Structure 1
């Protein structure tokens, strides 16, 4: 027994030494680049140009409601008018009904081009809610240090900031060595099928292989990572997929006074309950895993020990992450019952019932895998299963040990020196997913510092961006082009 206890004590001591040693070697991975090159930005003038773009109601077509072609045409003309140097130096190609592809030729044809992505369309404002806004959603008002309006964050600010950066660099006589392309979709909010999909197909047809892609996605956030006091720049290195599984049950109908043991609605309800009670497995990998490897060294010792030793602590970390919806989404394919339909009257047995369950698919899982999981969990021949037409596979995970990510990381630390740069998993859909076949380096990041309460403004009321934040976005894109294309 003594020998056993001594062996256990020795093993425990060795384990402690290993844990501590790994923690002490778990040091910061943040780069310390040279200072950024100066760039003068007239913040008020840039804000005014953004405000003008917000006044054009470029809502994409959806569910039988056509887009306002005149608004998109007006925005195209507006961009040409307010960015004359860019439109003189760059080739502009209309693609599909409302999208634009710009090409800024580089001086070295041996270098693969890079692509910056944005979108011109915006989501609609719910009828009857306009009066609840501090300023009308399509008035493009600059007030109290902010530019207000639909698209101020998603995503006209990104488009305008990119063009502002190009205009500023051209004014300084700068030219890129690497060809730079800008893809501005006109229907990102409804799937990008006529915008980004068409642009990607055009580039593929031309044999273009992209060095990198940068689209909207993560932002700079403060207070979102426990134990990290510095703001964190969250760069999406992967994106979840999307599918909706439809469950249907047929019934005999009849009067409710003589019901069967279980009606169509009852069969469906049991099936849906089984799906909700059996979520897909959680795991920590890809961008979600690397998030903790990059921010972990910035944490106090106790939390550093936890993330420096994921080989041992990973089950505990994953279990904790699954306790909240926001973090659960980062470690598993999520299950959301979004529709349930059945019956027409309270005394009539339904002849059919239907439910729709939406899944946001973790990289490593697949659309087919989700359907197989649902079929296995439901395990009822009375329930017909299928998927809705709109779906997408999760994206590959872009590496962070590449030159392409290095350019992005260096730029962030130059323009926002106080931030901790980290990769993460983008849980929402962007146009970037349509370009993954053209590049191994696809990143999702919009250079703006937001507070947690600002996130509700995206697709919500009182969407706005600070005048100073928009100016910083211009500086970011200019420095990024200097680092990655020159």
Structure 2
């Protein structure tokens, strides 16, 4: 008897009822997808611009060449600060103070200048209204050293203070003598114009910002507290006007830092039995093995990331100004949040906005190739996101190390994350309005400062601390920060002067009415 192959068997066909069910299911899925697409489209459209619509500021003549010359001269003073030696380069700082007095005679004839903590400066310009809260401009005098061996890579000697090709070159041009000279120039102009501030204006210039600010900014804050001073707002170095750095955003973006991350370094130490390398202990029990395992876990299992707080507000502000899928995704984080977060975590700077970061910075163990070391030591640096604390980070370290043999110690000099300054405030709108009036087409949004500034100390005497200067930066400029070939365009330097000049005028004027552009 011949058997039929399976392929010859009659194929079962769905019944009419089954076909109806399948068709209805497909239509249901299609309907749901259309509803989802409609919801995304409507939600994207509803996210209107949050940018303030303000008129252009009146033109202000700035002697660009003169300001560039003043900054070039300031760069020639090698005001490199030291954490251990408060007197390192002290004479350079004093010469720099004398230089400022010479180049800004009207400021020094009108404002009171005090030297605080040995080398830091505090200027005071009394206002006409004793009831008005004073305001504070900040910019530090000190600079970071030049990395040994990189001097030949500079296009201009780092402390020569050269102006060429439309730029002022040298250490401090960007960080932070450019801001200091611009602020003093704006004040010099205002004094010359007969301007009388409504509220008292302070200018604080620390001499040790690059090494923590304990001798400068911290002491200035203590001095102001002893005088019962409460500040309306503070503006310090920080975020910039970036161009081409945020994918999908065609306009320049002025990010105003409304908070900064905290700082904490933890030292890990683990002992072990020293001995000859020919008789090592079982795997994972040597000092280096235990330390390696702990560091691997800390590096692999970092604190969680999320689009929240300052980062979320920044993206919500920027989203309506973006093009393409970027606008759709950022306007609908309820749907695309995981996708956006995964992309942001791939970039060093964007990842730092989403989490408390972990950086393995120092490892020490052993001193001979055939000897097992009796201990290993490492330092791990954390930059704390607002919402995390030093205590919570230490608990994270303990959990990941998971070894009772380890000794853990937080180094001195750490700081909690700063409070978040509100964006729904007159002072934030003042800075926002000033930027929009001077830099047409520039998008203004809040941002998170991932580095540390002197302004963190001022949270004790002000609820409105902003970290922003209108330095223009493209992607290729970012390595210049604390790096080689630091520079600032002379045209941009003039823009800084106009910004501080207009900001102080706006602050003294009656609050202006502004509206969000449609």
Question: What's the TM-score bracket when you normalise by the shorter of the two chains?
Answer: over 0.9
Distance in 1 (alpha carbons) for counterparts of 2:326 and 2:169: 40
**1:108 alignment partner, one of 93, 104, 129:** 129
Measure, in 2, the Cα distance between the counterparts of 1:257 and 1:8: 67
Distance in 2, matches of 1:148 and 1:8, equals 62
Q: Does 1:468 align with 2:491?
A: yes
CA–CA distance in structure 1, aligned partners of residues 87 and 279 of structure 2: 48
Q: Could you tell me which of 413, 417, 440 is aligned with 1:390?
A: 413
Residue pair 2:173, 2:486 contacting (<8 A) in 1 also: yes
Please state how far the C-alpha of 1:439 moved relative to its aligned partner. 1.2
Give unpaired runs (5+ residues) of structure 1: none
Q: Distance in 2 between matches of 1:458 and 1:16?
A: 43
Among candidates 183, 191, 195, match of residue 162 of structure 1: 183
Q: Would the aligned equivalents of 1:60 and 1:122 in 2 still touch at CA under 8 Å?
A: yes
User: What does residue 407 of structure 1 align with?
Assistant: 430
Residue 106 of structure 1 aligns to a residue in which SS? coil
Deviates more, 1:184-193 or 1:315-324: 315-324
1:474 Cα offset (Å): 0.3
Q: How many residues align?
A: 486
| Aligned-pair CA distance for 1:280 | 0.3
- Alpha-carbon distance between aligned partners in 2 of 1:71 and 1:33, rounded to the nearest angstrom: 44
Q: How big is the shift at 1:417? A: 0.8
Measured in 2, the distance between the counterparts of 1:248 and 1:394 equals 26
Q: Note if contact 1:250-1:382 (Cα within 8 Å) is conserved in structure 2.
A: yes
Report the secondary structure of 2:259's partner residue. strand
Structure 2, unaligned stretches of length 5 or more? 1-20, 510-518
Note the C-alpha offset of 1:66: 4.0
Which secondary structure does the structure 1 equivalent of 2:371 belong to? Answer: coil
Q: Indicate yes or no: 2:495 matched with 1:458.
A: no
- The SS at the match of 2:274 is coil
Which whole-Å deviations, capped at 9, do the CAs of 1:261-280 have from their partners, x for residues lacking one? 12111111111111111110
Distance 1:256 1:226 in 2: 52
In 1, Cα distance between the equivalents of 2:459 and 2:25? 56
Aligned 1:128-139 pairs, distance under 5 A = 128-139=149-160
Secondary structure class of the residue paired with 2:131: coil
Tell me what 1:45 maps to.
66
SS of the residue corresponding to residue 461 of structure 1 reads coil
User: Is 1:336 the counterpart of 2:370 in the alignment?
Assistant: no
* Partner deviation per Cα, 1:413-456 (whole Å, 9 max, x = no partner): 11111211111111111111111121111111111112222221
Query: How far has the Cα of 1:399 moved from its partner?
Result: 1.5
1:43–1:468: 8 Å Cα contact kept in structure 2?
yes
| Residues 1:78 and 2:96 aligned together | no
Match of 1:34 among 46, 55, 74: 55
Deviation at 1:11?
4.8
Aligned counterpart in structure 2 of residue 259 of structure 1, from 250, 274, 280: 280
CA distance change for structure 1 residues 41 and 76 in 2, over 3 Å: closer, same or farther? same
Of 196, 207, 211, the residue aligned with 1:186 is 207
Give the 5 Å matches for 1:348-363: 348-363=371-386
Inter-CA distance 132–304: structure 2 relative to 1 (3 Å threshold): closer
Post-superposition shift, 1:7?
A: 6.2
Paired with 1:120 and 1:224, the residues of 2 have a C-alpha distance of 28
Retained in 2: the 8 A contact 1:306–1:313? yes
For residues 146 and 6 of structure 1, what CA distance do their matches in structure 2 show? 64
Tell me the secondary structure at the aligned position of residue 119 of structure 1.
Answer: coil
SS in 2 for 1:345: coil
State the TM-score, normalized to the length of structure 2: 0.91
Larger deviation, residues 149-158 vs 138-147: 138-147
CA RMSD of aligned residues (A): 1.6
- Aligned residues of 2:245 and 2:474 also touching (Cα < 8 A): no
Hey, what does 1:449 align to over in structure 2?
A: 472
